[in-house]
Structure 1
């Protein structure tokens, strides 16, 4: 699957999260990877944390950033994650906001405030 904002990653959210949890139950480890370990794999790990650790998307993001500081799902994946959290918890802890860089999750709003696209 391509790492582009239009890729339907959400079709795999529950399947991957359930597979990770299956490994956890058997005291096994799971390597979640993609081309650069920045967008797709990070998004899938966020889903797992929300679904099986009961944390919000915002909390899951903070957890992932501590473990992998360069993690940064693309804007399309963020939209899918926000939708998933809304379905899972009935509310979204992250919102997409407009910026000079296009629509971004509010988590990144401050750091992109003075950026201009090339």
Structure 2
């Protein structure tokens, strides 16, 4: 029943299911679309900044072979793989342990292998 509900919400454009990379098990991560996240924020729900960044990223790159990286329990892995690139979505301190190809960062400070998160909003 829950699987059917998730499938229907995905078809309606309210949820985005992202599958794990190269895994035979299909345990998708579920992300809210931007309008649904905004709805919950206006209703007083706490909007976690990290989740909001990942949802923004997923909303804009879901049609480009996006999958999430799944490590072993307790293992620090980067968040996503898009094509051949491994990308960590997060703040300035992210990416040191995960060893991604690129880190999508908040704010306006870039550096070595750091891409501004909002630039992924221009991908279409």
> Same fold judged by TM-score > 0.5?
no
Which one has more relative contact order, counting CA pairs under 8 Å at least 6 apart?
Answer: 1
If each structure's strand is expressed as a fraction of its own residues, which one has the higher value? Answer: 2
Higher helix share: 1
- TM-score of the pair, normalised by structure 1: 0.27
Name the TM-score, length of structure 2 as normaliser.
Answer: 0.26
